Amino acid sequence: MHFIHSLLTLSLANTASAHTIFCQLKTSQQTYAVSYGIRTPSYDGPQTDVNSANLACNGPPNPTTPSNKVIDVAAGNTVSAIWRHTLQSGSNDVMDPGHKGPVMAYLKKVSNATQDSGVGSGWFKIQESGFTNGIWGTDIVINSGGNQQIRIPDCIEPGQYLLRAEMIALHGARSVNGAQLYMECAQINIKGSKGTKKPATSSIPGIYKSNDPGLLIDIYNNPPTNSNPYRIPGPALFTC
Ligand SMILES: [Cu+2]
């Protein structure tokens, strides 16, 4: 009994230590330092309450550190949101591969990216990957050394934005609030766009419900299939 308990404790400890942080941004120009222009937490834990204000740009129980930097990004460029298990981890330590689920990115136009909390309206989704041919979005990120590829639209207005990158782990999602949501916000300045499109926007919190079919799901006993595909949560993807 004691042996079994120890094994259980060990496996829980492993799970807890294998969360993830979007901690670094790479543009076509430069790979920025860890935490440069990104509000990173020191602890890598998830948010699990989709109605929390901390769903926007993370927060307690994972307090984030502000950054006074804003990263220039050229419209139409593809950037990488780089994910790591901890702020010190390398590319071989992205997240526990047992963490399976969708990957998404959102933008919000702001007047001052270093000051805006991100909470509330203005968000639109610019990238998503769910479950295709047995591969989860998280698998793609882990297998590419932690790189989430995000194309910055070239049809929207230039200026300052928050870039919110998100990975969702569904291993515990068979019960309500069992999905683990990981997100951080980078502070960017989109340059070179002559676009004027104004995407339809949503509020965070507000993009997800705890019973969304993509968040309340038993991926082990009732995995998505071709006839019952995985439904990525959140608003429709914005495209130019
Ligand atoms: Cu985790």
- pLDDT per position as a tens digit, 189-223: 999 988 999 999 999 999 999 999 999 999 999 99
Contacts for 62-68: CB closer than 8 Å, 24+ residues apart: 64/39, 64/40, 64/184, 65/35, 65/39, 65/40, 65/41, 66/39, 66/114, 67/35, 67/36, 67/37, 67/38, 67/39, 67/114, 67/187, 68/114
| DSSP reduced 3-state for 82 | strand
Q: Cα(89)–Cα(32) distance, rounded to whole angstroms?
A: 15
pLDDT band per the 50, 70, 90 thresholds, residue 187? very high
Q: What percent of the chain has pLDDT over 70?
A: 93
Q: Cα(237)–Cα(1) distance, rounded to whole angstroms?
A: 50
Average pLDDT of the residues of the chain: 93
Q: Tell me the per-residue pLDDT of 64-78, one tens digit each, with 9 for 90 and over.
A: 999 999 999 999 999
220 within a domain of the structure (yes/no):
no
Q: How far is the CA of 49 from the centre of ligand 1 (A)?
A: 15
234 within a domain of the structure (yes/no):
no
Q: What is the CATH number of the domain that holds 85?
A: 2.70.50.70
Residue 93 reports pLDDT greater than 50: yes
Q: How far is the CA of 19 from the centre of ligand 1 (A)?
A: 4
Q: How far is the CA of 169 from the centre of ligand 1 (A)?
A: 7
Q: How far is the CA of 197 from the centre of ligand 1 (A)?
A: 37
3 within a domain of the structure (yes/no):
no
72 within a domain of the structure (yes/no):
yes
Q: Tell me the per-residue pLDDT of 18-52, one tens digit each, with 9 for 90 and over.
A: 899 999 999 998 999 999 999 999 999 999 999 99
Residue 36 and residue 27 in contact, taking contact as beta carbons nearer than 8 Å: no
Provide the domain count of the chain: 1
Q: Cα(137)–Cα(188) distance, rounded to whole angstroms?
A: 24
Q: How far is the CA of 77 from the centre of ligand 1 (A)?
A: 30
197 within a domain of the structure (yes/no):
yes
pTM (2 d.p.): 0.93
Domain hosting 115: range is: 19-204
pLDDT band per the 50, 70, 90 thresholds, residue 17? low
Q: How far is the CA of 25 from the centre of ligand 1 (A)?
A: 21
225 within a domain of the structure (yes/no):
no
200 within a domain of the structure (yes/no):
yes
Q: Tell me the per-residue pLDDT of 116-131, one tens digit each, with 9 for 90 and over.
A: 999 999 999 999 999 9
Nearest-5° angle of CA 71, CA 162, CA 59? 110
235 within a domain of the structure (yes/no):
no
